[in-house]
Amino acid sequence: MSDDLTALIGPYERWAHGIGADYAYAGATIADSPFMAAAAEWPAGTKPHSMIAGLENKDSSKKEPAVLLPTLWSAAFGKPGRVFCPIVLHVSEPVSATGADRLRDLAAACSQLRPGETERLGKQDTGICFNSRIPRSAVHLGFRPDNITERYARCPKATVPPEAIMAVIDDGIAFAHENLRDAAGKTRVEFCWLQGAAQEVREPTVLFGQEYLSDDIDKLIQACGHDEDLLYRHASPDRGVYAGSTIDHLATHGAHVLDAAAGHRHGSKPNPSRPVPPAGSLDALRVVAVQLPAPATIETASFGKDAFILSAFHYILDRADRIAERYLGKGRALPLFINFSYGFNAGPHHGGERLERALRSLIRRRIARGGATHLIMPAGNDFLSSLHGEITPDQLSGDDRGFDIPWRLQPNDRTSNYLEIWFPQGAVPDRVSITITDPVSRVIYDGPIDRSGLTIRHVDLMLPGALCQHPIGQVSVECYRTGDDEALWRFVLALAPTVPDNPTLPPSSSGTWTVRLGHLHDVVQHGPITCRIQRDINPFGYALGARQSYFDDPGDKAFDASGHRPLGDNPVGVFVRRFGSLNGLATHDAVTVVGGFVATSRSAALYSAAGRDATHQSASGRVHLSAPSDASSALEGVLAAGARSGAVFRMSGTSVAAPQVARAAAIAYLTERRPAHVPSDCGAGHELVRLLDGQLRPAPQDSISQTRLGHALLGREG
């Protein structure tokens, strides 16, 4: 592939859709589908509908791809700032295509998605993040955004007019659960979008998947009665489109989270852990739910989500406007709470990740239009996972003033592993050398990466002397845009599974890989080099054979001197850092970050991740408050609904803490408690803490607790 096209393909895309595609989990790919989800970043002023109009391709004989737009929030564009837009590409690709062919098709598609002025401004002014393919049966080429207007007009109004909206983006959404019904037995779910479902309607209201309005759900409940297995079979979820269907499980991540955020069963006894407004119900809280498709949830490294997540936010904001217009009138807005219990480990961790910037832009624009909007996300569960390290000047050694990064890959790992190495602001990698050595001391790569003036360059990693000449990994150097006029350099390493599903492919060796960076003296003068391993764990409800790699640093002690698990950061000089392990998608200033604590002790849950030290003055990149995520040190998790009405189960993690805060915030609005004036520059987290005044108790004041728990704990004193 030419350098011009190579510059359009990012490290994850090149591995996942190119040379590393052969290692992918079989259920996460739909090789014979021509539809590819992607997220585009364009210069300010770009108008997506106008731009793609000339690229729509209804003639399959043409080579250029069609570009399809999903539901887009009308107020998202036309303002200052860069444009972020989810798109679906229609790329013709034979099933037998090689990795190079696949990358060439994607690069060709990407090259056509540049606005005309981008050629003048430079390639980096446009960014395209390719995600996963969408099944043919899930895409409806007859989609028109206006279809929803007439369809929603025919939908009966709610008995109790809505006063607030709870939106949840997750997996395994139990949208027909009895805890989501009002006093009359009607659903409170106003809209539900199953992104991975087969399309079965004549006038689709979404581009891909299936949408259910409240009357659709009520009709399903009436037709199927208490047989929710039958109901979900009729609802055509992911079954038959992707491998497996999460909603068939007894318990799902989405069912638990949605119930914690908005569930209430009429006639149940009062429960302090599941509060309701003084009216005694949540009937005035309408629900908008989005179920992500299977590839977005089962891809263990969190690659392939951006387009689906960004589409979900556009959909939620559009549907929230429609609800408010129907019940309050045109131009009015209802308070909106978005619980998004997802995340990943890598990224720049200062709000500059592309999806972070896109979500921040949407949230800020709705607030600017007068709509109270709160995005609530979990802190993450990797405080003790050894996935974050920093290289500082005092750690350099050797004649080349370098550092050895100890990266341990686990045996029997069936998924790829990724390591990101972020250079500080102002540093460039031109003189930096990289030497990659496997666990048996074979040098896989040694030398600098000659980027030849490009902003991105990739090098395949080959096993020396191996009979199979298939790369076992790749190393990339990339200048990654983090803002309108800002960028950071990074190295990204991808390594194949230690036990591939396909036994003919060469594996990566399990054990400690050494990644030595040389000639770092000038780089670390700008600040520490940050190293982050991407998550690689089995998502809730799936068994994919993923095993998390980690930094095998001898200075990172698993227990302190008293034999307890550590609560604070490692000592200065140790490579692995625990502070700074925060969810990489929740480091901007338009999100409230929620940690988890143990209910009986009010101490941070061992896994609950932390941002920067509490002494740091920034309102972003830190935990703002915490909620219970474990009942006690002996009883993990908190109770909420299973995938069927009447079922409950325990789930732990900060993912279950976040919806409790979202619920409390919605109740504050439903009881007409509004926050006092909050300075606009204080950040979303502080604003929500102010809103919840009266429902919180102070967190311990020591620096470790303030860093891990934030300023307050959900729950009144006593």
Q: What is the DSSP string of 525-559?
A: TTSPEEEEEPP--PPTT--------EE--TTS-SS
Q: Report the topology of domain 388-551.
A: Jelly Rolls (2.60.120)
Read off the pLDDT of residues 374-419 as tens digits, 9 standing for 90 and up: 999 999 999 999 999 999 999 999 999 999 999 999 999 999 999 9
Return the number of other C-beta atoms located less than 10 Å from residue 454's C-beta: 16
Nearest-angstrom CA–CA distance, 86 and 311 = 6
In the predicted model, what is the mean pLDDT of the chain? 88
Pairing of strands 373-378, 336-340: parallel
Give yes or no for a contact between 318 and 273, defined as CB atoms under 8 angstroms apart: no
pLDDT at 487 over 60: yes
The number of angstroms, rounded, from the C-alpha of 690 to the middle of its chain's C-alpha atoms is 26
What is the helix (H) or strand (E) element at residue 367, kind and residue range?
A: helix 354-368
> In this structure, what token pair is assigned to residue 203?
């006038």
- Residue 110 φ/ψ, nearest 5 degrees: -65, -40
Amino acid at 556: D
Nearest-angstrom CA–CA distance, 391 and 382 = 19
Nearest-angstrom CA–CA distance, 110 and 112 = 5
Nearest-angstrom CA–CA distance, 88 and 143 = 12
Nearest-angstrom CA–CA distance, 33 and 31 = 6
- Residue 433 φ/ψ, nearest 5 degrees: -100, 155
Nearest-angstrom CA–CA distance, 425 and 423 = 7
Read off the pLDDT of residues 265-277 as tens digits, 9 standing for 90 and up: 998 888 888 899 9
- 677 pLDDT band (50/70/90 cuts)? very low
pLDDT at 614 over 60: yes
Nearest-angstrom CA–CA distance, 605 and 623 = 13
> Dihedral of CA 680/685/688/693: which sign?
negative
Give yes or no for a contact between 597 and 628, defined as CB atoms under 8 angstroms apart: yes
Nearest-angstrom CA–CA distance, 591 and 337 = 11
pLDDT at 191 over 90: yes
Q: Choose among 170, 234, 573, 560: nearest CA to 376.
A: 170
**Residue linked to tokens 């069927």:** 644
Nearest-angstrom CA–CA distance, 475 and 437 = 13
- Residue 23 φ/ψ, nearest 5 degrees: -90, -5
Nearest-angstrom CA–CA distance, 336 and 165 = 5
Residues β-bridged to residue 461: 473
CA distances from 74 to 55, 301, 310, 319, 560 (A): 21, 32, 14, 11, 54
Nearest-angstrom CA–CA distance, 164 and 532 = 38
pLDDT at 328 over 50: yes
The pTM of the full predicted model, rounded to 2 decimals, is 0.94
Q: Calculate what percentage of the chain has a pLDDT beyond 90.
A: 65
- 474 pLDDT band (50/70/90 cuts)? very high
DSSP per residue over 455-472, as a string?
SEEEEEE--TT-SS---S
The number of angstroms, rounded, from the C-alpha of 603 to the middle of its chain's C-alpha atoms is 27
Residues β-bridged to residue 28: none
- Residue 338 φ/ψ, nearest 5 degrees: -115, 115
**By mean pLDDT, which of 60-64, 371-375, 459-463 is the weakest?**
60-64
- 537 pLDDT band (50/70/90 cuts)? confident
Predicted local distance difference test score (pLDDT) of residue 5: 53
Predicted local distance difference test score (pLDDT) of residue 387: 97
| Euclidean distance between the first and the last CA atom of the chain, given in angstroms as a whole number | 66
> In this structure, what token pair is assigned to residue 512?
């400690």
Nearest-angstrom CA–CA distance, 514 and 402 = 12
Give yes or no for a contact between 335 and 667, defined as CB atoms under 8 angstroms apart: no
Nearest-angstrom CA–CA distance, 464 and 444 = 7
Predicted local distance difference test score (pLDDT) of residue 682: 61
Q: What is the CA radius of gyration of the chain?
A: 25
Length of the chain measured in residues: 718
Amino acid at 340: F
pLDDT at 30 over 90: no
**By mean pLDDT, which of 93-97, 475-479, 568-572, 574-578 is the weakest?**
93-97
Nearest-angstrom CA–CA distance, 162 and 684 = 24
Read off the pLDDT of residues 283-322 as tens digits, 9 standing for 90 and up: 999 999 999 987 655 566 667 789 999 999 999 999 999 9
**Residue linked to tokens 């502070």:** 579
What is the three-class DSSP state of 312? helix
Mean pLDDT of 611-623: 75
Predicted local distance difference test score (pLDDT) of residue 31: 61
The domain spans of the chain are 3-133, 147-378, 388-551
pLDDT at 676 over 50: no
> In this structure, what token pair is assigned to residue 270?
């009062």
Give yes or no for a contact between 293 and 308, defined as CB atoms under 8 angstroms apart: yes
- Residue 124 φ/ψ, nearest 5 degrees: -70, -5
